[in-house]
Amino acid sequence: MKKLLILDRDGVINQPPVVPHRYILTIQDLILNRHIVEIIIKAQSDNWLVCCVTNQQAIGKNILTYQGISAIHNYVNENIVESGGRPLHFFVCPHLQSDLCFCRKPKPGLIFQALEAYGLNKEMDKVIFVGDQETDKLSAEFAGVMYHPFSNSLNYSDIIRKHS
């Protein structure tokens, strides 16, 4: 059995933008959430695959480029690697909410992309999605995977204990 821990980005891996309804556009805008790197490393050391799924309509609005989002994700991964972990793969929906695509949460497309990329079967493998928004919870529900709400006091054992 394979195990996959899926993390939302804004609000889980990093703190949400300081101004509501704004975007993380540079690494200067990004503040990693407390304990998230530790959670990622502990999961990886317990043989969990760990990835991120994230809606980023700033790309669709042309206020963030793919190069810009890659720089942000590389910065996150540098922090993880410097602390002893392995880099994450980021599954990104660049579409506007009005595009009605299948990958934008709350639709399950990004989760399905992750399952396919890692060769997982949600019926046979263990998949947990950690999110902070109702759209995250709905996406997990629509994809048929377990959901765990994020809080600033969350630690790795909380996630595993609840879903073992």
Ordered alpha helix ranges (H), 28-155: 36-45, 57-60, 66-82, 109-117, 134-143
SS3 98: helix
Determine whether 8 is an active site residue: yes
Determine whether 10 is an active site residue: yes
Q: What is the CA radius of gyration of the chain?
A: 15
Amino acid found at 154? L
Least Cα distance to 88 among 130, 44, 55, 56 occurs for 44
- How many residues can be counted in the chain? 164
Residues involved in catalysis: 8, 10
